[in-house]
Structure 1
Amino acid sequence: MISNGRIADSLAQAGHDVTLLNVETIIPMNAFQTTKYAKIVTLGSISNKSLEFGKNARKGLDTSLYSESGLFDSYTSLSGIIELLKIMMKIPFQEGKETIEKLKAEKFDAIFVEQLFPQGNALGHVLGIDVHFMISSCPMQEHLTSLFGIPNPTGWVPSIGKLAITDKMAFFERAQNELEHHLLDA
């Protein structure tokens, strides 16, 4: 959200009418300043269930950071993240029906979305916004490279998963990377 806020500020300072939509998920957006010049609209709220789930997911990720990676670690750890994403998608859309209707009336020209959270693209579709700009604050995820037709040669581009490999891979590492890529693209 910080990068989105900076883009929003740049556009607002250039004279554009900018609305930054904060979709509440795991981190309360009022915990840090995202924009100084754009209008801010908040959608959804963070439930205790989301907070607890987010804390547990972060603990699991923190403990796995320095442990030896197994072949299917990314796949098994993704199940928790997928459950969290379900919650993150459901709550804002349920709680924000009135806000969404007000936003539809704005007839926005474009939407900037973050690749890590699917709400942006979903809201762009719901709001009838045809132009989507994707902001990426980390390496491109496999399903997105596939979706947008971006080349992602697994022979030398490491997957975004948990494998401890570089762009100079041995045969077995390339095989692991290929499998990791397909697991994360599913």
Structure 2
Amino acid sequence: MQITSKPARESYTVMNELVLPNDTNPLHNLMGGRLLHLMDIAAAISAQKHSNHIVVTASVDNVSFKQPVKLGDVITINAKVTRAFRTSMEVRIEVWSENIPSGSKIKSNEAYYTFVALDGDGKPAVIPELLPETEEEKHLFDTAQSRRELRLIVAGKMKPEEASHLKAIFFPEE
């Protein structure tokens, strides 16, 4: 039986990781590539929970490293699907860094990843619609189409004049 819709909360994923010496650069900060790897894993788990399929990463939005993550910190990665399209879905990731002995906790960064669900033959699979329930989920759902159009334009898969949601933002009277 094909599930037609699922609430966003069912895709919620939390991943924790202790930053060890092998994960750091000479400044004893978590290497950016290592963090991107962990973010991709957490986001993929979230996408699989929503789609009930194997997923592949289609795109990663701009990731800015706002605060360094130090050796010995614990990172917590929160991931949740914000919108599902026909075969793809957007996942929002937040990364928190915590120094347990001092009790300090900071938001290191956030990003949006896009995944495509695949069937057993490696072809794109139709996925359930997303049901946003909270005000934040509804806001992220409503703004996801604009982010998607921007991604497609940057990737050269959509012409700017075809972007209906972005056009409404920049040219509201048309």
TM-score grouping bracket, smaller chain normalisation: under 0.3
TM-score (norm 1): 0.24
Structure number with the higher strand fraction is 2
TM-score (norm 2): 0.25
Structure number with the higher helix fraction is 1
